[in-house]
Amino acid sequence: MKELNRIQNPYHDDKVIDACSIFGAMDTTGKRFSGQGVIRAIANMHDRGNGLGGGFAIYGLYPEYTDLYAFHIMYLSQKGKQDVEAFLRGNFHLIQAEEVPNRLAPAMVNPPLVWRYFLEIGQRNPEGQAEDDYVVGRVMEINTRFTDAFVFSSGKDMAVFKGVGYPEEIAEYFCLEQYEGYLWTAHGRFPTNTPGWWGGAHPFCILDWTVVHNGEISSYGINRRYLEQFGYHCTMQTDTEVVAYAIDLLMRKHGLPIEIVARVLAPPLWRDIEQRPLGEQKLLRTLRQVYSSLLLNGPFTVIIAHHGEMIGLTDRIRLRPLTVGTKDNLLYLSSEESAIRLICPDLNEAWNPIGGEPVIGRLGTPLQPSPMAVTKRVPVLLRESKKYPIGKRTVTPK
């Protein structure tokens, strides 16, 4: 989208400020499930948003096209569509193109066209350039050069559906009930300075990485300047974008695992680092020295997802909420516990993670019980004895 800045940030503020609700669900066996529950859960947190943005990321939804890049692109005009389609044909093998199914909904005012394209690179990438970098480059081109077009997502076997409306309205509009995926994330937005622009909603996506985010990052100014040194163009001017690019830099380019990346984005306090064993101290201290400009300060909870992993992370002093729920192979992350309980009342465990400690769901890795979820382990000794009758209590809640 040409002049993306102007559309995304019409008042030319330092950045776009959001407050929100977030939700994530993953089946760690890889079993695909319907998003009905996720949609109900995010709708339950209706009051955290203001209807000016909602969105979903779904992983595993295109089993017929698992090896193709699935581009979801929105258009504000036919010209935009024509130009971009020509561009796509020139830079990829276009295997399949169609409008993303949607249904008429009174809540959706002037929805843009949203189409999806299944693409193969087929050696179009120059010698020595990785396929991923090629895709990232083409997406950046579309997002900055073409009028009236914006890429929602560009990963394989995953997609982002988003727009202006409450998340449940977006789900209704894009007929999300027909999809199944093994990992879903969802977001409801409360922006303060970008009304009416579908591209501004979360999740933010680069390749198959998506980020949904609640909070406001007070270190944004320097996080962004630092990433720009490495060639990232922060055109969206949002915290979410900066988180996504930071993940891309640290995980994809620098090859660091997510446990280490969490320690870069939400490092322990210096005084806490000094309490750790020596080897760990050196690592944590070095991370903080080298990547000081990527420390995310201020309140945040993010759910980051890519194929195979869903990660929940909060800021170091836990200024934003996150509840984790587990049920057998299912991992739930939510801004509020009630949203999880609505769709899964009988969780194995529910807890609030400590600030700065990531919660990671990984394909093929069974969920570990959390040290914080200690409800079931009270010694029998402490249970009631005859001296204290039960009294009028406790039917186990339905």
Partner 1 sequence: MKTYLPPQFLVERDVEKCIKCKVCANQCSFDSHYYDADDDEMKNRSENCVGCHRCVTFCPTGALMVRRNPLEYRENYNWRPEFIEDIIKQAESGGILLTGMGNDKGQRIYWDHLVLNASQVTNPSIDPLREPMELTTYLGRKPDRITLDSDLNLETELAPQVRLEVPIMFSAISYGAVSLNVHESLARAATEVGTMWNTGEGGLHTKLYKYGKNTIAQVASGRFGVHPEYLDTARIVEIKIGQGAKPGIGGHLPGVKVSAEVSATRMIPQGTDALSPAPQHDIYSIEDLAQLIYALKEATHYVKPISVKIAAVHNSAAIASGMVRAGADIIVLDGLRGATGATPKIIRDNVGIPIEMALASVDSRLRQEGIRNRASIVISGGIRNSGDVAKAIALGADAVNIGTAALIALGCRLCQQCHTGKCAWGICTSDLFLTKRVNPDIGSRRLANLLHSWSLELKDMLGGMGINALESLRGNRLHLRGVGLTDTELDILGVRMVGS
Partner 2 sequence: MKYSQRTNQSVKIDASGIYYRELNTKIRELASNGTQKIELRNVFGQRYIGTNINKPVEIDIFGTPGNDLGAFMNGPRITVYGNAQDGCGNTMNNGEIIIHGRAGDIIGLSARGGSIFIRDSIGYRAGIHMKEYQDQKPKLVIGGTAQDFLGEYMAGGILVLLDLNESQYHKAKFVGTGMHGGVIYMRGSIESHQLGKEVGISDLEKADWQILKKLVAEFAAHFSYNADEILRHKFIKLFPLWLRPYGRIYAH
User: Which of 123, 289, 368, 385 is close enough to bind partner 2 by CB under 8 A?
Assistant: 385
Please pick, from the candidates 330, 337, 344, 361, the single residue that binds partner 2 as defined by CB under 8 A. 337
Asked whether position 341 contacts partner 2 by CB under 8 A, the answer is yes
Binding site for partner 1 (CB under 8 A): 12, 14-15, 17, 19, 192, 215-222, 225-226, 228-230, 254-257, 259-260, 269-271, 279, 282-283, 286-293, 295, 297-299, 316-317, 319
Using CA atoms, how far residue 249 sits from 49, 71, 205, in Å, is 30, 22, 14
- For residue 314, the minimal CB distance to partner 2 (Å) is 10
Closest CA to 333 of 34, 19, 42: 42
Of positions 8, 44, 154, 185, contacts partner 2 by CB under 8 A: 44
Cβ at position 350, least distance to partner 2 in Å:
6
CA 186, CA 23: separation in Å to the nearest integer?
5
Dihedral (C-alpha) 366, 372, 376, 380: value to the nearest 10 degrees?
A: 130
List phi, psi (to 5°) of 219.
Answer: -100, 10
**Binding flag, residue 30, partner 2 (CB under 8 A):** no
Round to whole Å and give the CA distance between 47 and 168.
Answer: 12
Asked if residue 206 lies in contact with residue 248, where contact means CB atoms within 8 angstroms, the answer is yes
Q: What's the rounded Cα separation, in Å, for the pair 153 and 205?
A: 5
The structure tokens 């609700």 sit at 21
Q: Which is nearer to partner 2, 67 or 384 (CB)?
A: 384
Q: Is 205 a catalytic residue?
A: no
Out of 207, 336, 358, 361, name the contact with partner 2 by CB under 8 A: 336
Chosen from partner 1, partner 2, none, partner binding at 52 (C-beta under 5 to 8 Å by type): none
User: Of partner 2, partner 1, none, which one sits near residue 379, judging by CB under 5 to 8 A according to partner kind?
Assistant: partner 2
Containing H/E element for 246?
helix 239-247
Is residue 397 close enough to count as binding partner 2 by CB under 8 A? yes
Pairwise CA distance, residues 151 & 127, whole Å: 25
Binding at 219: pick from partner 2, partner 1, none (beta carbon under 5-8 Å per type)? partner 1
Q: Which stretch binds partner 2 (CB under 8 A): 187-195, 241-249, 276-284, 338-346?
A: 338-346
User: Where in 35-164 does DSSP place strands (E)?
Assistant: 54-59, 69-75, 93-99, 113-120, 149-153, 158-163
Cα atoms in the 13 Å half-sphere on the side-chain side of 82: 3
CB of 191 closer than 8 Å to CB of 53: yes
Catalytic residue among 20, 205, 234, 344: 20
Out of partner 2, partner 1, none, what residue 382 binds, judged by CB under 5 to 8 A for its kind, is partner 2
Distance in angstroms (rounded) separating the CA atoms of residues 267 and 261: 9
In the numeric block, the tokens 């591209």 are attached to 199
Tell me how far apart the terminal alpha carbons of the chain are, to the nearest angstrom: 51
Pairwise CA distance, residues 35 & 182, whole Å:
9
Residue 41 tokens read as 């859960």
Which residues, 6+ apart, have CB-to-CB distance to 233 below 8 Å?
Answer: 140, 144
> From the list 94, 107, 342, 363, which residue makes contact with partner 2 (rule: CB under 8 A)?
342
- The smaller minimum CB distance to partner 2, of residues 45 and 305, is found at 45
Q: Indicate which of partner 2, partner 1, none lies near residue 189 (CB less than 5 to 8 Å, by partner kind).
A: none
Q: How far is the CB of 352 from partner 2 (least distance, A)?
A: 5
- Quick one: which of 191, 355, 358, 361 contacts partner 2 (CB under 8 A)? 355
| Distance between CA atoms of residues 288 and 206, nearest Å | 25
379 binds partner 2 (CB under 8 A): yes
Using the rule CB under 8 A, is 312 a contact of partner 2?
Answer: no
Map the footprint of partner 2 across residues 359-378, applying CB under 8 A: 372, 374-375, 377-378
Number of residues that bind partner 2 (CB under 8 A): 42
The least distance separating partner 2 from the CB of residue 395, rounded to whole angstroms, comes to: 7
Whose CA is closest to 208, among 250, 252, 154? 154
Q: Mask 257-296, x = binds partner 2 (CB under 8 A)?
A: --------------xx--x---------------------
**Which residues are part of the catalytic machinery?**
20
Interface with partner 2 (CB under 8 A): 44-45, 47, 271-272, 275, 317-318, 321, 323, 336-339, 341-342, 350-352, 354-355, 372, 374-375, 377-379, 381-385, 387-388, 390-391, 393-398
